[in-house]
Structures are given as C-alpha cells and as structure tokens.
Structure 1
Amino acid sequence: MKLATIWPAAAVAAGLLLSACSTITMEPLPEGLTSQPPANWGERSATLKSLTRWELAGKLAVRQPSDSGTAVINHWIQNGEAYDLSLSSAFLGLGQTRLKGVPGFLELTLSDGETYTSSDPESLIEAATGWQLPIDSLVWWVRGLPGPAEDFRLYFDQQSRLAMIRQHGWEIRYDRWQASGNRYPELPARITALKGDKRVRLVITDWQI
C-alpha cells in the first residue's frame, strides 16, 4: 500500500474519533456539590468499613407507584455480613416481619409464621411485601458508604460531608447526620434513596455501636 493512501485513511479515522469524543456529554454536578473528596475521605471511609457490628432502630417509609407505606424498625442488628432486621407495619397487614440473611441470601418470616428463603433478596422482599428494597446495598449506604459491587459516584457538600451517592441506578441522599459518640465519625440520621418513581426513606433514631 502506498503512503499516500494511508494518510487519508488515518485522517478519516482521527476525524471519526474526534467526532465521537465531541458527542460525549458529562453529567452535570448537582448544585452546590462537588465530586472532589475531602482530604480525610480515605481515612473516614476506612474507619466506616471497619464498623461491621452495630444495632440501630428507626423508621422506614417506602413510596412507589403501586403503593406506599411505613414501618417501624424494631431493630437492625448487624454482625459482620449477617443481618437481623425486624420491622413492624400495619401496611397491607404485614404486622411484624423478620429479615435475616447475608449478601446474596435472605430468610424472610412474616407475621403469620410463614418463612421464605431466596438467593435473590430483593425479589423475595418484593414478592412478599410489594416493596422494592435494595437490602444488600442498604447495609453499606446506612453507614455512609458506597456498596462494593457496583460503580458509584460520590458528591460532597460545602462542609466536606458526603451528600449523595449514585449507584446501581439509585440516588442516595444524606439529609442529616448524628454524632456516633465514640471513635467512629458521624453516622447518618436520615437517608433518602430515589430510583425513578420509587423512594425509600430511612430515619435512624438510635445507633448502638
């Protein structure tokens, strides 16, 4: 092949590449937030990852097109990867519902004593309660951390606090924080998770580390 025929082909390829690059649109940052982590983020996230045993109580509210409802979190006991979550709700006659599991496995017990197990926790919760809860991700989000299994984006406010995580199609907003009272940094007090027309709000009234 002659050199003269190589240059036009290369020019066309370069032109196509530049054209493709010019059509890439960057998602704008939410107003007042930055994607630049504060200087202490690495240390903070490492400390929060070491927090693998806790108990909390609070309230849960779910809103979606098919239905909406609230539940009291009697307890959420986390022990390593294993969780034990007890909910009470009059919504749809759920009564007291117990969720026990580890990532990728869930045992769900309804108020009538019926117990179900599944290797797909989210599908089991939706089938049993009608609620779409990202339970495996919530274990991370509740500490103010992104889950490890999916790509994510972090956004920080002007006080260098984590304000938002975007992950797995969800937008997790940290509306309020509370002091942990020990060697751990502040912990979330109110979290709002949004995905399309679905909203999950978690209000934590008591952290026990």
Structure 2
Amino acid sequence: MRFGRLALALTASIALGACASHDAPFAPQAASQSRLDAPFSASGRLAVRYDGRGELANFDWIHSAARDELSINTPLGNTVARLVRDSGGVELTQGEDRWRAADVEALSRQRLGWELPLSGLAWWIRGYTAPGLPASVDAEGLLHQAGWTIRFVSDADAPSVYPSRVELSRGDLSIRLLTSTWRP
C-alpha cells in the first residue's frame, strides 16, 4: 500500500489537524456490561509504522459483536483493502486477491508481517480496556494490555465520550488512529 504523493498530502493533513486542536489526556475506562456488545462505526485516518517504514491511509470500520468490516482507503476514497471478520473467520480482499484465516491477528501476521490487534482494538478505539485481559495503567496514563502500550488522546476543543486519537505501540510497530466520525 504505497500512496506516494497522496501519502504526503495525508501526512500534511494529519500534521495540520494536530496543530488545530488542543490535546487533552483521556483516561482508559473499563467497559460496562451494556457496552460489551454495543455496535459502532467509525471513520478516520490510520498511520502504521513498522520496521522503519510508514503507511498512511483512511479507514471506515463497522463493528458488532458478530462481525467487523474494515475498509482501508486512499485519501481520495478508493478502497485498497477490505477486512471482514465473522463467525467463519476473517477474509482480506485486496483488488482481485483474497486470503482467509481463523483470526485477524494470524492473517495480518501472514500477509503484512505484523499483527493488527482487531479484537483489542474494538475496545481501545473507544477508550476502554479490553475485557478479560490483564491491564494496567501507568503514572503517565498509558494503558498496558495484551503486550501493547496504548495512549488515548482527546481533543479539548471538541469533547467526546471517545478519544479522538489512539496510539498503540509494541516493539518496532506503532499504529495511530485519528477518528473523525462516530456512529452508534
């Protein structure tokens, strides 16, 4: 997924967006039972840095307990990859190519060389700790869970029940999600 000039434009828009808002800490919360199966959809920008290389894209994500549909798009809106998780496993579609696996982590490790933590990410993008997994929050407010260090940031100028940015890191992999649109 190389985007060339489009990546440069996206990088500039991320940098400009960061300058235009005032970051505020967002403390991770434990998910209540009523939120365990709450569906959501979110859109925004995604930045991944792995092994010294970076990728930038937009994302559209529809989540429910039974299914996830994640589209990775160019800044102009063209879908470059689509990931669907359901009871039968997960399928990644990129152009005419399709790959299947039992779970997202295995498929992303096989195809990308790194794991996309979709099961935890469904909680983390909303500022929650993932249920059923040990978690700790350090003095700086960083969540440590499932081998990931997660930083939640909200936009002080546009308060929301969810963080506006989630930054994940594990080893030489970092993932940053900037969510611009939420729909319950």
CA positional deviation for 1:116? 1.3
CA positional deviation for 1:140? 1.2
For 1:121, give the aligned amino acid: V
Aligned to 1:115: 98
Query: Structure 1: any 5+ residue segments left out of the alignment?
Result: 1-32, 158-162, 181-185
Secondary structure, counterpart of 2:111 in structure 1: helix
CA positional deviation for 1:83? 0.8
With the length of structure 1 as denominator, give the TM-score of the two structures: 0.63
CA positional deviation for 1:191? 0.5
Secondary structure, counterpart of 2:144 in structure 1: strand
Q: Deviations over 1:96-136 (max 9, x none)?
A: 1111104893111112x221111132121133234431111
- Quick one: structure 1 residues 187 and 47, their matched pair in 2 at CA, closer, same or farther if it must change by over 3 Å? farther
Aligned: 1:81 with 2:56: no
With the length of structure 2 as denominator, give the TM-score of the two structures: 0.71
* Higher percent of residues as strand: 2
Aligned length: 155
Matched-pair contact (CA < 8 Å) for 2:85–2:103: no
| Structure with max Cα Rg | 1
Structure of higher RCO (CA pairs closer than 8 Å, 6+ residues apart):
2
Aligned to 2:49: 63
Q: Distance in 1 between matches of 2:103 and 2:65?
A: 19
Q: Distance in 2 between matches of 1:84 and 1:66?
A: 28
Q: Distance in 2 between matches of 1:82 and 1:114?
A: 21
Q: Deviations over 1:154-204 (max 9, x none)?
A: 3587xxxxx421011110000225545xxxxx1111010011221110000
For 1:98, give the aligned amino acid: R
Q: Deviations over 1:23-68 (max 9, x none)?
A: xxxxxxxxxx9x9x9xxx66xx317725621111001111111522
